[in-house]
Structures are given as C-alpha cells and as structure tokens.
C-alpha cells in the first residue's frame, strides 16, 4: 500500500477519535429524543412507518449536526482549557463571584419578566447576559473590586508586568540571566514549548557554532530555573500550528496582556504594532551604557588605524568605539584623550576625541618620522 493512501487514513483516524464518535452518538440520541417529542406534541399515535421515518430523519439530523459541529466544539474546549490553565487563580475567583452576582440579579429581575409574553425565554437570555457581564466585570476590574471590599491582592497580581515571554534570541544571548539575578525583572518568566523546541533544534545542529549557542541557551535556562526568587513557567502553545514562533509569542502577549522580551528587530516591531509590551535587552544595554560628554577625558588603547588619515581607533570596556585624531602613530598604545563629539547611531554610540595632555602630544611628535 502506498504512502499516499496511508497518510489520509492516518489523518482521518487522528481527526475522528473516540470522543468524536461519542459526540455523534449523543447527537443521534438527541435527534431521536427530539423526534419523540415532536410526535407527542403532534398528538399522532400509531401512524405506522411514518413514525419511524420521522425518528430516522431526526436521528440522522442530530448525528450530522454533531459531526459537523465537533471541530468547533473541540476548538472551543481547547481554548477554554488553555484559558483556565493560564489565567491566575484570583482572576478566576473574581470571575466566578461576578457570575454568581449576575445570576442573582437575573433571578430578581426574572420574577417580573416571567409575567410578560415569552417571559421564560426572555428570562433565560437575561440570565445568560447578566452572568457574562458579571464574569467580565469581575475579571477585568478585579483590583478595584478587591480594594472596595478591603481585600489586598497578592504581590504578583499588583506587578506592572504580569508575566514575560522570552524568545530564543534572548535565551541564547544569555544576558537575561544577569538581569534576572540582579532583581530588576521580578515578573514570572514564561517559556513556550515552541521556543524550547527551537532551542533544542539549535543545540542538536550539525554546525558547531550553532550547537554551542543552543547548549549555552539551555544552560542559561537551567541557571535561571535554579534561582530561588525566580518563577520560570513552561507553556504549551502547540495549539496554534498555523502560526510561526514569533507570531505565537505576539498572540499570547496580546491575549493575556503579557510582555515579550526579545532581541529580534522584526519581532520587536510587530509586537509594538500589535500593542504588546516589548522588553529589548539591546535597548536596556544602550540605556545603561555610560554617557560621555564633550570635554570628558578618557583612557583608551588604540588597536587599529582609522578610515581617515591620521586617525587611531580604540574601544572602551563596554564596546563603544573611540576615534582619536592624530592617533595613528600610537596604535597598540594606551593614550589619554578628550572627547570632542558624540555620534549616536542605530549600531551604537561612537566617540570622536583628540589626544589630551602634553605627554600625549610629545608622544605623537616623537612618533612622527
């Protein structure tokens, strides 16, 4: 038997599991019950084969409806299961309280509505709407309701950032370990299964450089998980196979109000367009970089010649490039220089300086031919 024939059968079996057929059987049973109810309402008894035809049609309709509706019901159930797994317990409790309050209000109003025409269906619709409204208010206005009740929420619920999703680039970068260790990031860190799977693929790569980066990322996660005051969570996000890893992170951040930590420029822009809070380690490093102002003196080792005639180039400890005028003759030497101007580019900060001090000027003159 060819592979082309086996694969559709596997897909059919995967899509039509035991639960699917159980729902179809329940649909057939529901259709049969509906047919019996219709016969009782019509007052027809012992009509012969016509009763069986009606029961067969209603049973077939019930089974067909259950068969067609099963994918939507399964998707709804998966979304509900994911919501219950990822929503904090305090939000669920306030949502339940809001639902109960909404149902109580619906019962009070329903006592007056039942006397109207179509009062019972109208009461049911009103109860559903008020229950949904109560749950929504309870979950979204949780903090205000708890303060009105004189109850203080947990420290985690009052954080500016509820949770932080990190992508593969941040894990491989490794600086997230230092940021978390210093205590500046106190929100729970979330690693999705897709990111972990991608990291494992990098660690198993045949390229030695990629393999080393992947293993370093796994070691960083191990060290982060070992920190006593850090919460590292793993989240299943394989329920959206139609989205790539970056879009899964954006969707999770947008849906739950979580932040995304990344070094990827494109993911940064897409997340900002979607209204998702972005934490960029490169921007954090640039913000923490010491600011040099014109007139400030610094010490730098010139390592190579510059593009222009007579220039020498060196680097500070944080990687900032310093271009020193008339420093070409002093390459491989440590000199004192005075900052003349500062140029900020997308690639980083660049300093232009001149040799400072009489001793440096004498070194420059002695180095001249």
Q: How far apart are CA 290 and CA 174, in angstroms?
A: 21
Q: What percent of the chain has pLDDT above 70?
A: 79
Would you state the structure tokens that stand for residue 174, as one six-digit string?
Answer: 């490794």
Instruction: Rank 17-31, 36-50, 191-205, 288-302 by mean pLDDT and report only the highest.
Output: 191-205
Extents of the domains making up the chain: 16-86, 89-157, 159-287, 291-367
In this model, does residue 347 exceed pLDDT 70? Answer: no
In this model, does residue 166 exceed pLDDT 80? Answer: yes
Q: How do residues 307-319 score in pLDDT, each as one tens digit?
A: 888 899 998 876 7
The mean predicted confidence, pLDDT, of the chain is: 78
Confidence band, pLDDT 50/70/90 cuts, at residue 323: very high
CATH level 3 topology of 159-287: Rossmann fold (3.40.50)
Q: How far apart are CA 87 and CA 137, in angstroms?
A: 15
* pLDDT for 44: 61
Alpha-carbon dihedral of residues 82, 87, 93, 96, nearest 10 degrees? Answer: -50
Q: ∠ at Cα 83 (78, 87), nearest 5°?
A: 160
Confidence band, pLDDT 50/70/90 cuts, at residue 159: low
pTM recorded for the entire structure? 0.45
* pLDDT for 312: 92
Q: How far apart are CA 237 and CA 314, in angstroms?
A: 46
Q: How far apart are CA 249 and CA 106, in angstroms?
A: 39
* pLDDT for 238: 60
* pLDDT for 2: 46
Q: How far apart are CA 251 and CA 176, in angstroms?
A: 22
Residue scoring higher pLDDT (367 or 305) = 305
Helix (H) or strand (E) holding 303: strand 297-305
Query: What's the average model confidence in pLDDT over 42-57?
Result: 70
DSSP-derived secondary structure for 31-98: HHHHHHHHHHHHT----THHHHHHHHHHHHHHHHHHHHHHHHHHHHHHHHHHHHHHS-HHHHHHHHHH
Longest pairwise C-alpha distance within the chain: 122
Q: Which of 118-122, 235-239, 241-245 has the lowest mean pLDDT?
A: 235-239
* pLDDT for 324: 92
Q: How far apart are CA 344 and CA 180, in angstroms?
A: 28
| Cβ pair 252, 234 in contact under 8 A | no
Burial (0-12, 13-18, 19+ Cβ within 10 Å), 155: exposed
CB count within 10 Å of CB 111 equals 10
Confidence band, pLDDT 50/70/90 cuts, at residue 10: very low
Q: How far apart are CA 85 and CA 7, in angstroms?
A: 33
Q: How far apart are CA 198 and CA 39, in angstroms?
A: 60
In this model, does residue 7 exceed pLDDT 50? Answer: no
Residue scoring higher pLDDT (180 or 77) = 180
In this model, does residue 107 exceed pLDDT 80? Answer: yes
* pLDDT for 313: 92
Cα atoms found within 13 Å of the Cα of residue 265, Cβ hemisphere only: 2
The CATH number of domain 291-367, selected from 2.40.50.140, 2.60.120.10, 3.60.15.10, 3.40.605.10? 2.40.50.140
| Cβ pair 171, 202 in contact under 8 A | no
Would you state the structure tokens that stand for residue 300, as one six-digit string?
Answer: 């730098």
């Amino acid at each position: 038997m060819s592979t082309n024939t086996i694969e559709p059968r596997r897909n059919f079996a995967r899509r039509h599991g035991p639960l699917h057929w159980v729902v179809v059987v329940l649909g057939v049973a529901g259709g049969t019950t509906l047919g019996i109810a219709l016969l009782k309402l019509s007052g027809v008894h012992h009509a012969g084969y016509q009763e069986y035809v009606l029961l067969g049609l209603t049973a077939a309709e019930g089974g067909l409806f259950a068969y067609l509706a099963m994918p939507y019901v399964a998707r709804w159930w998966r979304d509900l299961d994911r919501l219950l797994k990822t929503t904090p317990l305090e939000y669920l409790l306030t949502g339940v309280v809001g639902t109960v309050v909404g149902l109580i209000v619906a019962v009070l109003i329903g006592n007056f509505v039942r006397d109207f025409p179509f009062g019972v269906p109208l009461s049911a619709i009103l109860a559903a709407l008020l229950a949904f409204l109560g749950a929504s208010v309870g979950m979204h206005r949780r903090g205000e309701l708890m303060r009105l009740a004189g109850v203080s929420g947990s420290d985690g619920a009052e954080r500016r950032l509820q949770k932080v999703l990190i992508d593969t680039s941040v894990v491989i970068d490794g600086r997230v370990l230092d940021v978390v260790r210093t205590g500046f990031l106190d929100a729970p860190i979330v690693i999705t299964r897709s990111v972990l799977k991608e990291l494992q693929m990098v660690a198993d790569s045949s390229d030695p450089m990629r393999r080393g980066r992947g293993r370093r990322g796994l070691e960083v996660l191990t060290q982060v998980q070992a920190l006593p005051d850090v919460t590292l969570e793993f989240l299943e996000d394989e329920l959206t196979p139609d989205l790539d890893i970056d879009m899964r992170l954006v969707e999770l951040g947008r849906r739950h109000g979580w932040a995304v930590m990344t070094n990827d420029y494109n993911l940064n822009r897409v997340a900002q367009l979607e209204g998702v809070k972005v934490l960029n380690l490169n921007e954090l490093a640039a913000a923490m970089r010491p600011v040099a102002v014109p007139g400030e003196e610094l010490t730098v080792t010139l390592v190579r010649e510059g593009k222009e005639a007579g220039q020498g180039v060196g680097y500070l400890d944080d990687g900032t490039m310093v271009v020193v005028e008339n420093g070409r003759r002093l390459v491989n030497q440590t000199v004192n220089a005075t900052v003349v101007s500062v140029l900020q580019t997308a690639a980083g900060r660049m300093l232009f300086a001149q040799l400072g001090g009489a001793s440096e000027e004498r070194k420059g003159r002695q180095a001249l031919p």
